[in-house]
Chain A
Amino acid sequence: MGIVIQLLINSLIAGAIYALVAAGFSLIYSTNKFVHFAHGSVIAFSAYMLYLFYSILKFNFGIAVILTILFSGVFGYLLNLIYKKLRERNASSVILLIASVGLLILIESLILILFGADVKTIGFLKIAKGLEIFGGIITPLQIWIIIISLLLLGFLYLFMKKTKIGKAMRAVADNKDVAEIVGISSEKIYSYSFIIGSLIAGIAGILVGLEQNLEPAMGTNLMIKGFTGAVIGGIGSVSGAILGSFLLGFTENYGIWFLPSGYKDAIAFTLLFIFLLFKPRGILGKKWGGDK
């Protein structure tokens, strides 16, 4: 019984993190219609920013967190400016995809140069004794990860459904040409998606940075998981991305019940390939396809 609960807890924690990555990634994909792999670098950027502000510059933790989140948003905005330059030269979505992989490698390399290859810890939280729930162990931070993730995803849902900008984002995702005709500037909407997606990635980076060690390639690993979650759920659908991410978290963690834990990533990749081969539009994928 204990192991079932423990795996359930582990699945929820993994799913919560993947969902944050996938939701921002999917939001950007839905409006911009290209795969922004450099989204992973925002997570690493944010974790290292928190390390810089809190562990090196010794800022108050709350201030360090707020600065990190703000910087992540600005970072996303700047990434979009690079893509914008390419779009102005009529770059196709494949060119933008290649550029995004390039940016991911570039940013991780910069982190490597600036902070070094050795593993860093933020060390805000002393190693806490976990709470025992029905035989499973969960730390207070892990409870926070799940709560913050669910809250953020809830806010994102309300934002997309209820606010004027959120509706305009869905409108651009749906039909950019008509959106332009009613006076919605798609360039502005692209920027907003990057800022909001990166803010969420920034928060994910903070949570991951507190839970695990920091290493320059941490963004790539999480991006692959987030991307898998987004594909499983139906790429371009934010709610699909969330669903897919939790599904991935569960499959990975219950999978290692039967397989050695080293196969965790292999499980994720197998799932990704199964969906790409047999159900490329994912669970909530749309019949009509958003690409034009």
Chain B
Amino acid sequence: MLKINNLHAGYDKIEILKGVNIDVKNNEIIALIGPNGAGKSTILKSIFNLCNIYSGEIIFKDKNITKLQTYELIHEGISYVPQGRQIFRELTVKENLEMGAFILDKNVMKRNIKDVYQKFPFLKEKRNEYAINLSGGQQQLLAIGRALMQNPQLLLLDEPSLGLSPKSMKEMFNKIKEINKEGVSIIIVEQNAKQSVEIADRTYILEDGKIALNGGKEILKNKKLKDIYFGGR
């Protein structure tokens, strides 16, 4: 579904990704883990054209999408949920969801909002409340709901568990699995390595802008993993 070939990317002149290759198949959950500064978030940002791409290409459903504009990417079926509960705090829950479907047809928006309410019933209950009044976990789910308003085939999640209580975190991972079961492929970037590897079909481990390891759940037992995280070379 998505293929990243030899991607070099970064911010202005600071190169973060130094030749990354990733392959996402239909209906997969892919986890990207690794120490701080390894370039996990930059991979998502480069797919969504939010950083500088120096070379390499990103292919989505056999189409080269490298450097497409945001609205074009949304139309292609890719949605992005940035790090840190990024919502419109002064808009109501309903308005937040509506803004998710800003570039889509009004009828599509109405249909999608029903779907999102079905997946997250609390959003329907609180639809007229200002988003700032939601709890941290609810705000993160609202951010995911907003992305689902775009009917994505591929969902990019940047550290959705950041700053959540263990209970909210568990709920979050359950919701991610549910969304995936309905046919949405997911790339999830996480600090929380163990839980993300467990829900993922495959995991890529990044180290200093390159893929150091990739594999299934057995990757947690790999001896090299410890070296990457704790630098014990």
A:168-185 near B, CB below 8 Å: 168, 170-171, 173-175, 177-184
Q: Which A residues are in CB contact (< 8 Å) with B80?
A: 181
Cβ B86 vs Cβ A164 within 8 A:
no
Contacts of B132 in A (CB 8 A): 288
A residues near B95, Cβ cutoff 8 Å: 167, 170-171
Query: How many chain B residues touch the partner (CB < 8 A)?
Result: 22
Q: Verify B98–A181 contact, CB threshold 8 A.
A: no
Stretch of B99-107, B160-168, B186-194 at the chain-chain interface: B99-107
Chain A, interface size category, equals 10 to 19
Q: Which of B50, B88, B102 contacts A183 (CB 8 A)?
A: B102
Bound-complex Cα distance A177 to B88 (A): 10
Chain B's nearest CB lies how many Å from the CB of A27? 14
State whether B86 touches A168 (Cβ < 8 A). no
Contact B86 A182 (CB under 8 A): no
CB of B103 within 8 A of CB of A175, answer no
B102 touches A182 (CB 8 A): yes
Distance from A177 Cβ to chain B, minimum over Cβ atoms (Å): 7
* Complex: chain A residue closest to B70, CB-CB: A183
B103 / chain A contacts, CB cutoff of 8 Å = 182-183
**Contact present for B91 and A171 (CB under 8 Å):** yes
- A178 vs B98: C-alpha distance when bound (angstroms): 13
User: What CA separation (Å) do A107 and B191 show in the bound complex?
Assistant: 54
Roughly how many angstroms separate A167 CA and B102 CA in the complex, as a whole number? 10
When A180-B70, A181-B48, A183-B71 are in contact, do A170 and B90 touch as well, CB less than 8 Å? Answer: yes
Of A164, A178, A179, A184, chain B has the most CB atoms within 10 Å of the CB of A178
**Per-position binary interface string of chain A over residues 146-168, scored 1 when its CB falls under 8 Å from any chain B CB and 0 otherwise:** 00000000000000000010011
Residues 102-137 of chain B: 1 if any A CB is under 8 Å from the residue's CB, otherwise 0?
110000000000000000000000000000100000
Judge if B89 is at the interface, Cβ distance under 8 Å.
yes
What is the chain B residue whose CB lies nearest that of A288? B89
Shortest CB distance B24–A (Å): 20
**In the bound complex, do residue A181 and residue B70 qualify as a contact, i.e. CB atoms below 8 Å apart?**
yes
Residues of A within 8 A of B82 (CB): 177-178, 181
In the complex, chain B residues whose CB is within 8 Å of the CB of A167: 91, 95, 98-99
**In the complex, what distance in Å separates the CA atom of A180 from the CA atom of B48?**
11
Question: Does A170 lie within 8 Å of B71, measured CB to CB?
Answer: no
Instruction: Using CB atoms and an 8 Å cutoff, list the residues of chain A in contact with chain B.
Output: 164, 167-168, 170-171, 173-175, 177-184, 286, 288
Query: A173-B90, A175-B88, A178-B87 are known contacts; what are 20 more A-B pairs with Cβ within 8 Å?
Result: A167-B91, A168-B99, A170-B90, A170-B91, A170-B95, A171-B91, A171-B95, A174-B89, A174-B91, A175-B89, A178-B86, A178-B88, A179-B88, A181-B48, A181-B86, A182-B150, A183-B71, A286-B90, A288-B89, A288-B132
List 10 A-B pairs, minimum CB-CB distance, nearest first: A183-B71, A183-B103, A174-B88, A178-B86, A174-B90, A171-B99, A171-B88, A182-B102, A183-B70, A183-B74
